[in-house]
Amino acid sequence: MSPRLSLAAVVGAIVVAVALVPPGRSEPAAKKLAIPEMKFDEVKEIAPGVFFRYSSISATDPKVPFGGSNHTWVLFKDHVVVIDANFPKEAGDVLAAIKKTTKLPIKYVLDTHHHGDHAYGNAVWAKEGAKIIGHTHAARLLMANGAKQWEEQAKDRKDVKESHLHQVDEHFDDKLVLDDGTQRVEFLHLGHSHTRGDAVAYLPKHKILCTGDACVNGAFNFMGHSNSAEWVKCLEKMEKLDVDLVCPGHGPVAGKDLIAKQKRYFVELRAAVQKGIDVKKTVDEIAAGLDMPWYKEWTGKAANDIKDNVKHVFDELTGKIDHERLGAAPRVGRDDLVRR
C-alpha cells in the first residue's frame, strides 16, 4: 500500500468516526474572529485550538530576526497539524514555539508549496515523526528541482547545509480533509497561482484560511513560478469560501478583504502590461508607467520597481511562457513521488 493510500484510509476512518456522532447536537454560532495585532515571532491563539506565529520576512535588516514564513498550527484531539515547514533553522524555532502550546505530537505538516521557506524544514518535522503533505505538483517540483535549488541555498545558509531535503510523504490532487470531530482542516488545491502546486488550508469551523504565498499581506509577490491569469481565478475561489480571517504566508493576519487586495495587484498589472503590449511598449516603459500608489502604501515598494513581475506578465501575455513546463519540468514520474 502506498503512503498515499494509507493516508486516504486514515482520513476515511476519521470521517467515518465523525459520521457516527448522533446528529442534532448543534454547536453555538461562532463569534466573528478578531484580527490579532502581533509582533514578529509572537504566537497567538487566534481561534480555539488554532495558533498563529507571525514571522518577519526581512533577511537583510539585522535589527529584525528573519523568520521565514508564517505558521498556523491546529490542535486536534490527539495530534497537531502544522501549516508550512519553513527553513530548517526556523522550523526548529517554530517547533519550540509549538511545544510551549501543547504536548501533543505533530502528525501532519503541509508544505503550501515547494519554495525553501515553506518546504526546506521538512526533515526537522519528519524527525519529530510528522508526515509531510503537499499537492502533487509541489511534491513533483520539490523532487525535480529540489536538489539543485537546495545546493544553491546551502551556499548561503548553514542550516540548509547541515540538514537534508526530505521529500513530500503524502500528496493529493484536489482536496485532503483531516477531521476528528473537534477540528477540521481542508487542504485545497485551487489551481496554478504562486506556483503550480499551491495548497491552502481551510478551517471551516473557524472561518480561517491559511493561504501560503497564494495570498500575502504586504510582502513581495514573487511571480517567477506563477500563472497570473489562473492566480486571479484562484483568488476568486478563495473569495467564495466562508472566511473571516486570512493567515497569509507572509505578512500580518487580515480580514477577507486581503484576498481582493491581492487580486487587485494582478488584475491591474495584467491590464497595464496588456495595454503597453498593444502600443508596442517595452517592459521598461511599461514598468515606468505603472500607476499603483495603493500598492506602495500596502507593500512599501512601488510596483514600478518590481520589474521581474512586469517582465513575467509581459512574457505570459506574449506567449513566451509555457505554464505546463513551468510547473512540471523536468518530468518526474508519478510513481517516483511515493519514494522517500
Which positions touch Zn ion (CB under 5 A)? Answer: 115, 213
State which residue, 112 or 183, has the beta carbon closest to Zn ion: 112
* Closest distance of CB 113 from Zn ion, Å: 6
Bridge partners of residue 254, in order along the sequence: 246
* Closest distance of CB 82 from Zn ion, Å: 17
Give the strand order in the sheet containing 175-179.
175-179, 184-188, 200-203, 208-212, 245-248, 254-255
* Closest distance of CB 219 from Zn ion, Å: 10
State which residue, 90 or 213, has the beta carbon closest to Zn ion: 213
Cβ(132)–Cβ(82) below 8 Å? no
SS (H, E, C) 154-221: HHHCHHHHHCCCCCCCEEECCEEEEECCCCEEEEECCCCCCCCCCCEEEECCCCEEEEECCCCCCCCC
State which residue, 26 or 60, has the beta carbon closest to Zn ion: 60
What span, in angstroms and rounded, lies between the C-alpha atoms of 244 and 290?
A: 32
* Closest distance of CB 101 from Zn ion, Å: 26
Give the single-character DSSP code of 303: G
DSSP reduced 3-state for 54: coil
* Closest distance of CB 85 from Zn ion, Å: 12
What span, in angstroms and rounded, lies between the C-alpha atoms of 183 and 201?
A: 12
How many helices and strands (H and E) does the chain possess? 12, 13
Give the single-character DSSP code of 251: S
* Closest distance of CB 246 from Zn ion, Å: 16
- The full length of the chain comes to 340
* Closest distance of CB 225 from Zn ion, Å: 8
State which residue, 75 or 232, has the beta carbon closest to Zn ion: 232
State which residue, 167 or 211, has the beta carbon closest to Zn ion: 211
Helix spans in 228-322 (H): 228-240, 257-278, 283-289, 293-299, 307-317
